[in-house]
Structure formats: structure tokens, C-alpha cells
Amino acid sequence: MKPLNLIPIKPSLDFAGKRIIFFGFSILLVLASIALFVARDLNYGIDFQGGILIEVRVDKAGKLGEMRQQLSNLGLGEVALQEFGAPTDILIRIQKQEGGEKAQQAAIDKVKKELGPGVEYRRTEFVGPKVSEELFRDGVLAVVLAIVGILIYIWFRFEWQFGVGAVIALCHDVLTTIGIFALTGIEFNLSTVAAILTIAGYSINDTVVVYDRVRENLRKYKTLSLFELLNNSINETLSRTVMTSVTTLLALLSLYILGGEVIRGFSFAMIWGVVIGTYSSVCLAVPLLLYLNVNRGTGRTKSDGEVAQEASS
Amino acid sequence: MVYFSKWKVSIILGIVVLGLAFAAPNLLDRKSADELPGWLPHEQVNLGLDLQGGSHLLLEVKASVVVRERLESLVDGVRIALRKDRIRYTGLGLRGKTVTFMVRKSSELEKARKLAQGIEDNLEILAEGNRVTVNFTQRALVEIEKSAVDQSIEIVRRRIDETGTREPTIQRQGRDRILVQVPGLDNPERLKRLLGKTAKMSFHLLDHKGSMSEAMQGRIPPGTMLLPSVEGGNQAQRYLVRKRVAVGGDRLIDSQPSFDSRTGEPIVNFRFDTLGGKKFGDVTKKNVNRPFAIVLDGKVISAPVIREPILGGSGQISGNFTISGAQDLALLLRAGALPAPLTILEERSVGPGLGADSIAAGKIASIIGLILVVVFMVITYGIFGVFADIALLVNMVLILGGLSLLQATLTLPGIAGIVLTIGMAVDANVLVFERIREEVRAGRTPISAIDAGYSRAITTIIDANLTTLIAALILFYFGSGPVRGFAVTLSIGIITSMFTAIMLTRLCVVAWIRNRRGTEVPI
């Protein structure tokens, strides 16, 4: 069987030349994300906002209306009910109650008493105001630290210009991911933060691969214009970029479709992240180097070993 | 590069075999895994609460209550000491966390200061003009708080153990928090009820001199307190109870639920230790035909009349209990009182049904994802794709083995991490294979192309994976519970996939090329 080549043997797409289109598109995307975030805010889950979440399974479908009626009379403020994956599974979300931690427990008791013994409690989650504040703070801190950590690593391994390019692409990914959550209203919770961090890792992974090739070509072709060199580097690594995105997407789609309702928001964020991360590596991170005054002098000490290796092979 | 030394081959295969050995117990059920011979690994992957069902509770100890109690008893201590030595004083009381008083004669200031100093160690005393202020040292305050939390952990453990739950985890978190994780619990409400009570019990005499109606209007006689009954909410009956504790609940050594032999009602039997029994005997002997109150957490459970002296050191409480109410009260009294109330800051309870569903869904998603990627790799890279797939399968085994070895916890996001690893693990191989393709196109011979492919791709692979590892480690540090499980599987997956891609696939490729030296690379 002849192996399949997903990408033509030697693609010669002009990524660097179309950069204005990409930059424009991305700036628009980021601005739209910020606007959406400001205008609609995120649909924070109880992790970050505090409150109560109860998932129940009832014996037959179509009880949603009746249950809504029952619970709205308890005086617990905003109570939202929705089907969750199956018609017999119902997710109940209750807003944070006034009066500290004790009041939340009282609300859970009330709901359980009202619904009686006929339902199966699949999940009861409650996050008090203290903990939700801490989780939020930790979440933001984790994302910021991850970006800084990655920046430092890239700085060490490459030159600062690459670090700047990579982090701009990274921030683009994180911001647009937040934007898509604001747009769709999908719940934003702890596992979303985990997804964002993974997206950061994945996107950087992609960027590093292309950057590595840029660095290699910078040493190899001293006279080639930077413009052409960047284009070549992207094209040479394009089949790898596409291959890896496809395998990762295959796995994630399987998770999204089959992995169950609890994990669906998470897999959605990851799928979005893979797409946007791949795009930003190829279309932003690399063309950005054109503006960052990349050093084209004789390579750094690190390259010497590799040059020697090349000579011997 | 195309040559592997014998020892290198043995190390690679050795790691694979070890991975298999550590992963294998997971294929058995728990019981047969435990029965494996001692020299074989028999640990299975720990399932998180979100997969096996159970309750996660984060509790906060209100240590300030204990500090307050200590301060109040310090006030009493000061009063007793001053009276004993006949030092006249005014304005003795608490101001914030400070006990203050004034001496009448300033000549007695030094004496008062010394007296206060002698009450307890760890006191800071300031005497100026006529005023004396007494403080606990900062160290003492920290110590009081710490021991309150330690003691709470002990009581929480006893209460949970008494319910007969298996393998609870109870840990201190931060300064004043306790994390409780109880797997496989079918009734989290009962657990919360049990942990929500301080369960401080004491026996008091009722005040029979004071007038109840005056007390209700706020004129409470000194040395007594007005306590509501447990039942009845706002209209609860009130009792005028002497403040002095006749016998404290800390003197109890056992309590069991039972039934009254006459009425058949649920009751709680209790037994005092020797000293408590003697005290109880004395009190009941002196107060026959007078009522006394059994007080739990500031509420009167019952207030029976003493019919005859109770000398045996044991008795019973009957207070309109339900069967489960009597059981719970007996359990609480057996386990002892908490030094301070606990507040539930966070709860995550998952029923066994949802956990099982999540495992099933996770399994299916992993298997389908695996099949898709495996097939795709073969279609794209032919025989080399098969090598990458072998590496991928071994990678799965190694992740499972690594999780079992480290006794890390597998959670639902953790399963997602594994699925993600399936997709990303082939990346290293893709990098190498694409490089080989390029080198072949550039006109190299097969062996030299493969050689160059590996040596050039390796720095890229390490750079790319280390950046993801940074993100995963930060996630591990900041994440909690399920999310931490994701960071664990992702980190293990990154490390094992680097091993399998760089070492194992290469071993396959080299072995294959030896057998077919000279032919072109079918990639």
C-alpha cells in the first residue's frame, strides 16, 4: 500500500505575504473576543462564582417543567434547570445564597426534601464564596504563570525575538478561547482553565516546531531573504503541522462525542484550541518575526555542535 | 545512529516489560489483584471520587471560637487570683483579644502584675498607671489555633470511622482547613449532618429559684442561662439552666442507641468514666425530685426529673428521637466533641451511578480515539505507521503502569488527558517521519535519511514537549481534585511518549531496516 501524503510533496504557500490578512483577521478576532467578554461576560460555573449544582436522574422523561415549578417556590432566588445529556437527567443550578456557607447547606437540604426520595442524586456540588474566590485567583495566576514560564523557556532556547512572537501568538489563543466561551455561553469552570493551559502548551508546541526550522534555515541559508526563509520554513513543516493537528482532533472529537456530558465543555475548548493554536503558530507566530528584527549574524554557540554533526553525517 | 548497543536494547525492552508488569493488575478485579504473589506489583490505579463516586468536603475550623473560650477562662483566672489575694479591682473584662482591669490602689499594681503572670505561661503583661492588660503571646495564639485544628481532625476521623466507611482521607489543608474525602458514600447528607455538629454535651441542674417569667423578659438571674429546647424552632420551650456544668460530656466513655423497654421509643444509653460516674452519683443523690437538663450544643435535649440517685455511672437519654436520630447522637457522643464548629466551604459529591457512567464513556472515547489515530497513522505512513502505532500502544500501557506505580489518582479530566495524549503522542513520530521524507527527497540513501531524520528531529521534539510539560506542571501545582488528575496523566503521557517515540519506534525501524538493507524507504 502506498502511504498517503496529506499535503502536496512540496507546498509553496505564501503565508508571509498574506500576513496583513492574517494579522487583520486576528486583531478583529481578539477585539471581538474582548468586546464579547465585556458585554456578555462569561457563563461562570459554580467553581468561580459560588453556588450549588445538583444533577438528578428521574424515572421518566418530561419532568423538567414539573420540577421547575416545585423548585421555584422554595425562595432560593434564581434556579436554573436543564436537561443534561439524556431526557431523564436534569441539572439544577442554584445561585449563591445570601448568608454565608450555612445558608448554602440549608438550600441543598431544602431542594432534597422537596424532590423527595424518588430521584437519584448523581452529583451534588457546592462551592462557598471563600473557595470560589480562591479558585478564581488561582486559575488566573496559573494561566499567567504558564505563559511566563513558557516565555522564559523560549527565551533560553531561542532568541528573545522568538519569545515575543510565541507569546503574542499564545495570548491570541487564550483571548480568543475566552471569546468563544463568551459567545457560546458554554460554562466556564475549573476544567476550562485546565483546557486553556493545555491549549497554551499545544499551541507553543506547534510554534516551537516551526521556529526550530526557522532557526535551522537561518544558519543554513545566510543570503536568503528573511521573507522567503520564513515561507520556506512554514511550508517544510506544514505536513507535520497538519498531521499532528489531525490526529489530535481525531482523539478530541471522539472525546467530545463519546466522552459524556460532564467533559463536553472541556473537549469543546480543546478542539477550538487545537484549531486556533495551529492557525496562530503558522499564520501569526512566524510572520511576526519579520517585524522583530531577527538576528542574522553567525549562529550562537549552541549551533556549533549541530554544524559539526551535519558535517560528519 | 542506526546501531543500538545490546545494553541499550535491553534497557528499552526492560522498561516496556516493567510497564506491562505495573499495568497488568488493572486488568484483574481488585480481589485477584491483591492475591498476586508478593514479588509482582499488585497496585491498581486509584480512581478519583468523580469516577468511583463519593464525597469531597472542605471544612474550616472556626478556631477563633476556641481562642475566645481561652480568653474567657483567662478572665475567670484573673478574677479568682485577684480575689484570693484580696486585690481590689474594677473593669475586669475582654477587649478584643485582650484581658484588662484596673487596680484600685496603684501600690498594688506590681503585685497584680505578678499574679497575672503566674496564671498561665505564654502571657504578655503590661502594667501602666492603674491599668493591667493581659495578652496571649503570638506564639501561644498560633499554638491554640493549631491544636484546635489537630483535635478537630482527630474527632472528624473518629466520626467518619464510626460510620463504617472504608478508606476515608482526612488531611489538614492550609492553616485552618480540613479536607475530607470519602469514597463510595451513598448518603453525603448524613456525613454532613454528623460533621456539622459540635456535639458538646453537658449535664446541668435546672434553676428552680429564679422566676421563669422574669427571665423571659430578660432578667436572667446570675449564674444561670436561658436555653431553648432542641425541638420547636422559634417557639421552642425554654429552660432556665444553671451555668455550672454538673458533669461534662468529656466524661463519657460509651454511648449506644437502644429502645426504651417500656415505651419502645428510641433512646441513647450512655456510660461515664469512674470520676464522671461518681460526680453524677453525687449530683443526683443531692437533687432527687429536681429536674436536670441534658444540653447539647446550647440546646436542651431533655430535662427529666431525677427520680432516684443514679450511682452506676450510666444512664439514658430519651428525647423524642427517631431511630436514625438516636443512632447519630450516640455516634457523636462516642466520637467526642469538636473543639470548635466546622463550616463546609466546598462540597463535591458524586453518586456511584454517574461515576460508573463516566468510566464507561471515558473507556469508549479512549478506545475509539485510539482506533482512529492508529488507522490514520497506518494510512499515512505505511509500515512506519505500524511502528508508531506499536509505540502508541506501549505508551498507553506505560501511562497505566506509571499511574499504578505512582499511585496517582485517575479522574475524569485525567481520562481526557489520556485521550489527548493519544492524539499528541504520535507527534514526535510524525516529526521524525516527515523529516525522513524530506531527507529522502533531498536524495539521501535510506539509512542515512533515517539517521538524519532522527538526529535532526530530536531537539525539536524535546523543545516542543518541554513547553507542554511546563504548562502541565503549573496546572498540577495550582489545580485541585479532578483537574490535578488531568495534569498528572498529561505529564506522565508527555514523558512516556517521548520515550516511546525516540527509543521504541527507532528500535523497530532499525530492526526492520537490518532485515531489508538497501531497499527504499516506504514512507
Following CA atoms A275, A280, A282, A287 in sequence, which dihedral angle do they give, to the nearest 10 degrees?
A: 160
Distances (CA, A) of A83 to A56, A57, A58, A108, B352: 10, 10, 11, 19, 20
Tell me which architecture the domain covering A51-127 has in CATH: 2-Layer Sandwich (3.30)
Residue A35's pLDDT is what? 95
What is the CA angle A265-A181-A90, rounded to 5?
45
Residue A152 or residue B231, greater confidence: A152
Instruction: Please write the tens of the pLDDT for every residue from A288-300.
Output: 999 988 877 544 4
The per-residue pLDDT for B458 is 87
pLDDT at A268: 92
Residues of A in contact with B475 (CB under 8 A): 142, 146, 194, 197-198
Q: State yes or no: pLDDT of A150 exceeds 90.
A: no
Average pLDDT for A268-284: 94
Task: Give the mutation candidate from A151, A152, A240 for the B interface (greatest B CB count, under 10 A).
Answer: A240
Cell numbers linked to A101:
456557607
- Which residue in B58, B351, B416 is closest to A267 by CB distance? B416
Residue B496 neighbours by CB distance under 10 Å: 25
* pLDDT computed for residue A130 by the predictor: 86
Q: Which of A125, A154, A251 sits opposite B423 (nearest CB)?
A: A251
Reduced to 3 states (helix: H, G, I; strand: E, B; else coil), residue A6 is coil
Q: Say whether A121 sits in a helix, a strand or coil.
A: strand
Question: Which residues in chain B have their CB less than 8 angstroms from residue A2's CB?
Answer: 382
Give every residue of chain B whose pLDDT is below 70, as ranges: 1-3, 210, 232-235, 481, 517-523
The C-alpha atoms of residue A131 and residue B347 are separated, in whole angstroms, by 10
ipTM: 0.85
A interface mutation test: which of B470, B488, B490, B523 has the most A CBs within 10 A?
B470
Instruction: Quote the minimal CA–CA distance from A38 to chain B in Å.
Output: 26
Task: Please report, rounded to a whole number, the percentage of residues in chain A having pLDDT higher than 70.
Answer: 91
Look at B344 and A55 and tell me if their CB atoms are within 8 Å: no
Residue A207 has pLDDT above 50, yes or no: yes
Tell me, what's the pLDDT at B364? 93
Does A201 score more than 50 pLDDT? Answer: yes
Who among B426, B451, B486 is closest to A194 (CB)?
A: B486
> Do A248 and B434 count as a contact with CB atoms less than 8 A apart?
no
Residues contacting B362, CB < 8 A, separation 6+: A259, A260, A263, B51, B412, B415, B416, B419
**Regarding the domain delimited by A19-43+132-301, which CATH topology (the fold level of the hierarchy) does it fall under?**
Multidrug efflux transporter AcrB transmembrane fold (1.20.1640)
Q: Which residue of A has its CA nearest to B430?
A: A240
State the pLDDT at residue A308: 41
- Contact flag B470-A146 (C-beta cutoff 8 Å): yes
B333-347: b (≥16 Cβ within 10 Å) or e: bbbbbbbbbbbbbbb
Confidence of residue A246 (pLDDT cuts 50, 70, 90): very high
- Estimate to the nearest angstrom the gap between the alpha carbon of A80 and the chain centroid: 27
Q: Would the CB atoms of A247 and B523 count as touching at under 8 Å?
A: no
Structural domains of chain B sorted by starting position, each given as residue range(s) with its CATH number in brackets: 6-52+351-515 (1.20.1640.10), 63-140 (3.30.1240.20), 196-347 (3.30.1360.200)
CA atoms within 13 A on the CB side of B464: 29
Instruction: Tell me the pLDDT band of A7, cut-offs 50, 70 and 90.
Output: low
Residue type, B116: A
Q: Which residue of A has its CA nearest to B490?
A: A198
In chain A, what are the domain boundaries?
A: 19-43+132-301, 51-127
Domains A19-43+132-301 and A51-127 share a fold: no
User: For residue A312, is pLDDT > 80?
Assistant: no
- pLDDT of A301 > 60? The answer is no
